[in-house]
């Protein structure tokens, strides 16, 4: 039986869960009320931080789900994403529009990565 490791565990969820060499991140959101650019920048920095804690990094991301409050902001989010994601290491990715936890959240990103 494989061990399960949880990182930054709270009453409702963990920010990351590791099992069988895979890292599952909870949906990451930025500062409520900030711009799409600022929220995306903050989210990606937090993904970097959590992956490091889980012995992984952005070159090891397997898949990403991006939820946006409005697809009208797709290009703005992608402008930040495209400067962050390493060339040659782009994950499988899906992006959709959905109401997020509060109207102040404009972007939420969910990641699955392999450990180093």
CATH code where residue 61 lies: 3.30.1330.40
Mean pLDDT of 87-93: 97
Q: What is the pLDDT of residue 1?
A: 58
What does the alpha-carbon distance between residue 29 and residue 40 come to, in Å, rounded to a whole number?
A: 8
Which tokens belong to 109? 């990103």
Q: Which two tokens stand for residue 76?
A: 């703005």
**Count of structural domains within the chain:** 1
Q: Residue 61 and residue 114: Cα distance in Å, rounded?
A: 6
Q: Rounded to whole angstroms, how far apart are CA atoms 67 and 112?
A: 15
Domain that holds residue 32: 4-113
Query: pLDDT, tens digit, for every residue of 54-88?
Result: 999 999 999 999 999 999 999 999 999 999 999 99
Q: Which two tokens stand for residue 85?
A: 């994601």
- The pLDDT tens digits of the residues spanning 104-116 come to 999 999 999 999 9
Model confidence at 29, in pLDDT bands (50, 70, 90)?
Answer: very high
pTM above 0.85, yes or no: yes
What mean pLDDT value characterizes the chain? Answer: 97
């Amino acid at each position: 039986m494989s061990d399960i490791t949880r990182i930054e565990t709270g009453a409702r969820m963990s920010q990351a869960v590791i099992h069988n060499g895979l890292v599952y991140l909870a949906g990451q959101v930025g500062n409520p009320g900030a711009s799409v650019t600022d929220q995306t920048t903050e989210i990606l920095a937090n993904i970097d931080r959590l992956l490091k804690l889980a012995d992984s990094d952005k070159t090891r991301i397997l898949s990403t789900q991006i939820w946006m409050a409005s697809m009208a902001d797709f290009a703005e989010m992608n402008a930040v994403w495209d400067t962050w994601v390493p060339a040659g290491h782009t994950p499988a990715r899906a992006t959709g529009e959905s109401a997020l936890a509060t109207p102040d959240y404009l972007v939420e990103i969910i990641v699955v990565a392999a450990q180093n």
